[in-house]
Structure 1
Amino acid sequence: MSGEQTDGYAFDDGLPIEPIDPGSTVLVAGPAFSPAEAVVRSLVMGGTSVEDGSLFISTSMTSEKLLKACRRTNPSLDTTLTGIIDCSGQEPKPSEIDAEVKYVSTQSDLTGIGMKFSALYESLYADAVDGRVRTGLISLSSLAMYVDLRKLFRFAQTLAGRIDSAGGLGVFAIDPTTHDERTVNTLGQVADGRIEVREYDGDDEAIDGELRVQGLPAQPSGWQPFSLS
């Protein structure tokens, strides 16, 4: 695979984020009860309208629950080009889920996750327009409970490298409140930039939270309100 597209990955109007260059990986950082993971889902699924592929690595949420969460903000979601690696460890149930799902029995099996990722990415790359695929990893913090930092860093670095070589977009979630500063900084080295997410404490019910982008070119400065619906 070799990504040759030059147009940046664009996002829904409610997210104050300018298009991000192909080949980039960004870290989305926010506490467990912030809308950080919802931002990751929106960044990845926002490309379905232009036939980008969407690949999720879900470490704690089943594939069924993940798609339900995506559809809460986008009821008309088209999952034709969506794939999910379900490594939640929960026994899969028969379902009519309209996305390709590959299962990994435990979050500690980084080799298995990597193999399923490669196979699923190849498939989506072949079918997506111009080979454009967005990858969401939810989350690094969950994986950190099962593997040591060195192994997790190498795994995340490998994913980011594959995404870069294919001209894709990587969006990795992390909860910085569950790690020490060294861990967050180490894992942050695999990313080209960072999107910090926090709760919104104002009165506008249309606003779901606030975010600010760091390390990426041509982005708004400071905290910006966003809406996911």
Structure 2
Amino acid sequence: MSPAPDSAYEFADGVPIEPIRPGTTVLVAGPALSRAEDLALSLVADGTDGDGALFVSTNASAENLLDACERSHAAFDPSRAGVIDCTGRDLSGARFDAQVRSISTQSDLTGIGMRFSALYESLYADATEGWVRTGLVSLSSLSMYVDLRSLFQFTQTLTGRIDSARGLGVFAIDPTTHDTKTVNTLGQAVDGRVEVRDAEGDADGELRVRGLPDQPSGWRPFSLS
């Protein structure tokens, strides 16, 4: 069952992003020392009280990613989550409450895509009203193993599947590690961008949303705790 036409994906109180319509994918862009990747994980993990959560993890093991979600989100339900671990680590002896699949190398985009489709279908079937949130952390890691053309086509494929299933996509990128052409090219495959920077005071950072309707303008502090 797909989300109702007037439904939207919502986020935690500390994250100043208005509900996002189904079928949308956003690029969460921020430097490595910012909380951009943590924010991307949060936007996906927030939904596991009823939604499915599918992570494509290129720079953290499935165990570390799930531990991070459980530490930062008291309501995180790993039984509603799936992880495609692209770090190449041996998972043969590991036990997970989540559905976990491994890829031996980040350059195997075909293998990632196949496992993505299988896991998405499983999570979609179990999720409330077909809600599934996808987090890819991160595009910058994948770019070290494949050329820009291949990465763009892969990103387009994922966003197309998310759109057709009325899901939510959250793809992290570190713009400081790429030239402007690369960031802009990958940005063409998504619907909008959430830019992240450091903040003074008690906030975990500041964000602003670009390219999506009905979002507040300007930089706003956010908190992930």
TM-score in terms of structure 2 length:
0.96
Give the drift of 1:74: 1.4
Q: Match of 1:67, as an amino acid? A: L
Q: Verify the 8 A CA contact 1:108 1:143 in the aligned structure 2.
A: yes
Q: Match of 1:203, as an amino acid? A: G
Give the drift of 1:34: 0.7
Structure 2 gap segments, 5+ residues each: none
**Structure 1 residue aligned with 2:223:** 227
CA distance in 2, matches of 1:215, 1:31: 20
- Return the match for 2:204 from 203, 208, 211: 208
CA distance in 1, matches of 2:109, 2:74: 32
Deviations 1:19-47 (Å, cap 9, x if unpaired)? 00100000000011110000011100111
CA distance in 2, matches of 1:183, 1:19: 28
Q: Verify the 8 A CA contact 1:84 1:99 in the aligned structure 2.
A: yes
Number of aligned residues? 224
Give the drift of 1:76: 4.0
1:142-157 aligned at under 5 Å gives the runs: 142-157=141-156
CA distance in 2, matches of 1:148, 1:5: 38
TM-score in terms of structure 1 length:
0.95
**Structure 2 residue aligned with 1:81:** 80
Give the drift of 1:93: 5.5
1:93-112 aligned at under 5 Å gives the runs: 94-112=93-111
**Structure 2 residue aligned with 1:35:** 35
1:1-229 aligned at under 5 Å gives the runs: 3=2, 5-6=4-5, 7-49=7-49, 51-92=50-91, 94-200=93-199, 202-204=200-202, 207-229=203-225
Secondary structure of 2:78's aligned partner: coil
Give the drift of 1:66: 0.2
| Identity between Structure 1 and Structure 2 (%) | 65
RMSD: 1.2
Q: Which aligned runs of 4 or more in structure 1 are off by greater than 4 angstroms?
A: none
CA distance in 1, matches of 2:212, 2:74: 30
Give the drift of 1:92: 2.1
Secondary structure of 1:43's aligned partner: helix
Deviations 1:58-96 (Å, cap 9, x if unpaired)? 011000000111122113421121000001112226233
Q: Match of 1:225, as an amino acid? A: P
Q: Verify the 8 A CA contact 2:29 2:196 in the aligned structure 1.
A: yes
Q: Match of 1:96, as an amino acid? A: R
Deviations 1:112-158 (Å, cap 9, x if unpaired)? 00000000000011110111100000000000000000000000000
